[in-house]
Amino acid sequence: MEWFSINNENTAELPDEEILRRSQTKPWLYEILVNRYQTAFLRKAIGIIRDEEDAQEIVQDTFTKIYVNANSFTPHAGAKFSSWAYRILLNTTFTYYQKKLKQGQRFMVFDPDFEQLVADKSVFYEEEVRDAVERILARLPGHFAFVLRLHYLEHWSHKDIAEKTGEQIGTIKARIHRAKNAFRKESNTKEIELIL
């Protein structure tokens, strides 16, 4: 029976994305993903942090975050679980790295991916914030999403938006105000924490 054996032929051959989806109702299936990625993730974390015990903690935190945030993974053309999970690993490692630096610890970092992340520490955060904003905008009525996207993501002025739409500046300001309220109501707690 599938519920009893995680490695039966029905589940062991499934793609990562499908196992992640199914694990939300059958949590024991998540172990398949852990088994598939644990060694590679641990190797990567050790390569960055240079401490096996800390790396194990990072990997455990990463797998917890992947499972808890499984609903935020939206498979579409070109989106792979491995890329998404790897990004969570790097972000978790970066957070750990920043925390240790604040405590006065220094690290020898030789991983080019991580060095790039540290050199431009805002890249992943900005990407995640933009993704969260786009998800919220997709849930808003089109006229609200349109003005918010132009004003906040494309940095258009009220005047530019008014000229593009042929409406009065006051109308655009009022619409942006109503759109911001709708945006707040549509946002969930996790998205707000990420954006703020």
In this predicted structure, what is the pLDDT of residue 56? 95
In this predicted structure, what is the pLDDT of residue 1? 39
Q: What is the mean pLDDT of residues 85-110?
A: 75
| Residue 155: pLDDT band with limits 50, 70, 90 | confident
| Residue 2: pLDDT band with limits 50, 70, 90 | very low
Lowest mean pLDDT, pick from 39-48, 119-128, 140-149, 184-193: 119-128
Residue length of the chain? 196
In this predicted structure, what is the pLDDT of residue 134? 75
In this predicted structure, what is the pLDDT of residue 115? 52
The residue out of 98, 116, 134 marking a domain boundary is 116
| CATH code, 146 | 1.10.10.10
In this predicted structure, what is the pLDDT of residue 57? 94
| Residue 45: pLDDT band with limits 50, 70, 90 | confident
The model's pTM is: 0.52
The residue out of 116, 135, 162 marking a domain boundary is 116
119: Cα within 13 Å, side-chain hemisphere? 8
Q: In the numeric block, which tokens belong to residue 148?
A: 């918010």
Give the separation between CA 181 and CA 157, rounded to whole angstroms: 19
| Residue 106: pLDDT band with limits 50, 70, 90 | low
Residues 6+ away with beta carbon under 8 Å from 39: none
DSSP 105: -
Does the pLDDT value for residue 107 go beyond 70?
A: no
- Chain centre to alpha carbon of residue 61: 14
| Residue 9: pLDDT band with limits 50, 70, 90 | very low
In this predicted structure, what is the pLDDT of residue 190? 52
| Average confidence score pLDDT of the chain | 78
In this predicted structure, what is the pLDDT of residue 3? 44
Answer yes or no: do 63 and 150 share one domain: no
Answer yes or no: do 127 and 112 share one domain: no
Lowest mean pLDDT, pick from 57-66, 68-77, 112-121: 112-121
Residue range of the domain that includes 191: 121-196
Q: In the numeric block, which tokens belong to residue 153?
A: 């993501």
Beta strands in 6-49 (DSSP E): none
Check: CB of residue 173 under 8 Å from CB of residue 151. Answer: no
| CATH code, 8 | 1.10.1740.10
Answer yes or no: do 133 and 112 share one domain: no
In this predicted structure, what is the pLDDT of residue 4? 44
DSSP 14: S
| Residue 126: pLDDT band with limits 50, 70, 90 | low
DSSP 154: S
Number of domains in the chain: 2
